Amino acid sequence: MLHGSCHCGSVGWTWTHPVLPAGATACNCTVCRRYGALWIYDFEGEGIVVSGPTKSYVRGTGVAFNFCPECGCVAFWRGQQVMADGRRRIAVNLRLTEPEPIADVPVDRFDGLDKFEDLPRDGRCVSDLWF
């Protein structure tokens, strides 16, 4: 299990799985590159639980980026559409947890700017981005 929180501690998330995520996504879309987030994904209420009051920035009809209204940290995004099976996608910002437990999690790159596709892994992990 992993826990993350904003700088002031008002907003938090929990990755409820007993194992670490298989990868953390660095996206280069016009929003994510500005936030500098590393995302881990699941479905709301299944593998990810969020807590605390947030404000959101909704990008089109796709996702709402949620941030702490006090300290401004981007904590998670939530899909705006409920899937046919009733579930909703959510991703939390892995940068809001402590670096030691996630140091070896591979970084997956996603081209959200031009091609909207996964890029090949280049061997980097989270510890390579936190120096």
Task: Give first-to-last CA distance, the chain, whole Å.
Answer: 24
The pLDDT value given to residue 131:
65
Segments in the chain below pLDDT 70: 131
Residue 121 to residues 29, 72, 86, 118: CA-CA distances in angstroms? 18, 30, 32, 9
Enter the pTM of the model: 0.93
The domains located in the chain, with CATH, are 2-12+19-113 (2.170.150.70)
Residue whose entry in the numeric block shows the structure tokens 């639980």: 49
The pLDDT value given to residue 101:
94
Beta bridge pairs of residue 110: 27, 118
- Please choose, from the candidates 86, 81, 129, the residue with its C-alpha nearest in 3D space to the C-alpha of residue 104: 129
Gap between the Cα atoms of 43 and 88, Å rounded: 6
